[in-house]
Structure 1
């Protein structure tokens, strides 16, 4: 039996994208197998607002499909809350309906800054999306995120909170998060009553939220060059999932449930290339069913102390070329896109969760292409502490970009 205290102890650690890479390990290393179970998608959101309209394909990326004024939130005093449904694009280039929540401060003025904040989302159920969690008693959001977001709101910034895992809760699909983030900004700027059409835009996120942020910055030039993104602050970003996989091994892990969740999420996004479910044994399929609509705690409880080998049909660890291509396609170090906006990047000198050399290589590539990058290392004992240590500097850096100051660089 898994102790509740153990789950609480690992909840913070579970927010790290090590688990995304662990999930990819499942995909890459199970090898070829016989046809079996189909991908297991989340139960449809019971709220019809989240459903895709029949004419979705006729909309352009970022087009607003619907808006809904939301009840006020006590942790954001005075802020107006607007839920926006918009057209975005999945990893296969197909249209999807996605959502973002925009917080408008009391002292808002037209054209004031818009910050897109990519929250860390661990979950496979639609109810795990930020737009839903905002209206639950989630202590992680209230205790950790709300004070930071209130700082932004007090400065007169509007804040967009995209549900960057998409309608299928494709946990682990980093590139998808970047596309949804960019389209969420487009949509927010197309809602006239929000007064954001001329606003400068900043991007911010750490770890899993940093992945969505970093991918949005890297994809902007090709996907949304018209956006006036003045800067992207991204911390603790896993830049190369392939290297993470190679360094992980197959030991049992206390938070393996999120590793499995990432594999399931990636299968949802890449069902042909990553047929994870086909290669699961009965134990794996049973756990998959338990967590298919779960959020962090349910996923942790179901997978604690397990490993890939516990859930695979075979011990044959044959790498699948299609799976590897998917992993590479979600690794920024291997992506040739160059950000249009300046970058603030922070991480620890040594991080047990992510390969730091991949960050350094990506930064060097950006610098060589002329991007203004300020990359900082914080002496820190762990991944979570680095998030806290770098947050004040990240906020100050974004504030300076909104004020029009030239971006510093240590390239």
Structure 2
């Protein structure tokens, strides 16, 4: 497990800013109905037809494969064949959507071997920033920093799925959407005959925003995808309650405010009628929105550095509207009544000031009372991202044991 490495300092700073930004982001949520004056900024159309939204999506079932293609090899994953799958999934409010997952298939693997769905951290509003795109970029700021850990999984003969879990409109902040795309991506991977995954066990993993998609997928699976043989999930540093994070926000200028705005705009894309953020932006806010609408992490950070919600919004009455509260609750795992039936490994720092740790505790206690198998481990560390690195070896070993059929431990 020594190949799991600490990401470079720039990545650590960006990840910490991301978690803080989720708190700040929801300060733009509207407090009262207003007359619509600005539509959400549209996502630029992707020139690659593989990413299109077919007209007959409503006739397809979740997880149906729309297209599959072999991709060029990736030097960061030696000894691996790469596929991309286009599949039908479901948006936050139930509409059919098409999503994409990239599948890394190790050259040496057992028949019907394990499938690990790994939900990468994606801090972006541009679809070009999703894993299926960034895997093929030379931009070091868009590289998949988890490659060392994923190579450990590949060396064990696991096939790895990397879903674009923010969806076709890069709906940053939409946790339920991420869970549904994760589950449908697993379904789709198992339905591609060339991959030989139909009979194998499934695991899921992710940290921070990727952990949020993973944890939501685990809670949704019993009702949304009960047929999947998910033998374990590992989710770390999970923002379990967006509303509680939002209530702790401040209005002072913040170096990561661009990510704050991005989270609000991402939720607006999924809930345009219930969360019309653009209606609450002044001229400066609309200009900033347009500057980040297709941006990746660094572009978003630059555009918003040192700004605040009070500068760009026409209202300061935060979070009191029923529609805003509903959207926050819809995307908060603590509020979702479902309980995972798959064993869960969860890790976080007890001193992580970027996420509501009490919401993690409350959620896991509820799972334990319902009879779920939960193993929670604390990793005291100075920052949010360091905890990701410290817990990664344990997460992989936990899933390895589940794939081998060992009984799941629990410290409920």
Q: Same fold (TM over 0.5)?
A: yes
SS class of match (1:171): coil
Matched-pair contact (CA < 8 Å) for 1:113–1:158: yes
Change (3 A) 1:317 1:121: closer
What is the distance in 1 between the residues matched to 2:33 and 2:310? 15
**Unpaired runs of 5+ in structure 1?**
1-5
Matched-pair contact (CA < 8 Å) for 1:232–1:342: yes
SS class of match (2:375): strand
For residue 357 of structure 1, what is the aligned residue in structure 2? 358
SS class of match (2:204): strand
User: What TM-score, normalized to structure 1?
Assistant: 0.95
What is the distance in 1 between the residues matched to 2:142 and 2:318? 39
For residue 62 of structure 1, what is the aligned residue in structure 2? 63
What is the distance in 2 between the residues matched to 1:144 and 1:83? 20
For residue 52 of structure 2, what is the aligned residue in structure 1? 51
Change (3 A) 1:317 1:200: closer
What is the distance in 1 between the residues matched to 2:12 and 2:236? 22
Q: Does residue 183 of the first structure (1) align with residue 177 of the second (2)?
A: no
Q: Does residue 388 of the first structure (1) align with residue 393 of the second (2)?
A: no
**Unpaired runs of 5+ in structure 2?**
1-8
For residue 125 of structure 1, what is the aligned residue in structure 2? 126
SS class of match (1:144): coil
What is the 5 A alignment of 1:2-401?
10-16=13-19, 18-28=20-30, 31-139=32-140, 142=143, 144-317=145-318, 319-401=320-402
Kindly state the Cα deviation for residue 42 of structure 1 after the two structures are TM-superposed. Answer: 1.0
Partner deviation per Cα, 1:80-139 (whole Å, 9 max, x = no partner): 000000000001111100000000001023310000000000111110110000001243
Change (3 A) 1:25 1:7: farther
Matched-pair contact (CA < 8 Å) for 1:233–1:344: yes
What is the distance in 2 between the residues matched to 1:312 and 1:48? 37
Kindly state the Cα deviation for residue 395 of structure 1 after the two structures are TM-superposed. Answer: 0.8
Kindly state the Cα deviation for residue 19 of structure 1 after the two structures are TM-superposed. Answer: 2.4
Structure 1 window deviating more from structure 2 (192-201 vs 51-60): it is: 51-60
What is the distance in 2 between the residues matched to 1:8 and 1:379? 20
User: What TM-score, normalized to structure 2?
Assistant: 0.95
For residue 3 of structure 1, what is the aligned residue in structure 2? none
What is the distance in 1 between the residues matched to 2:314 and 2:10? 27
Kindly state the Cα deviation for residue 246 of structure 1 after the two structures are TM-superposed. Answer: 1.1
Kindly state the Cα deviation for residue 24 of structure 1 after the two structures are TM-superposed. Answer: 2.1
Kindly state the Cα deviation for residue 58 of structure 1 after the two structures are TM-superposed. Answer: 0.8
SS class of match (1:287): helix
Change (3 A) 1:7 1:37: farther
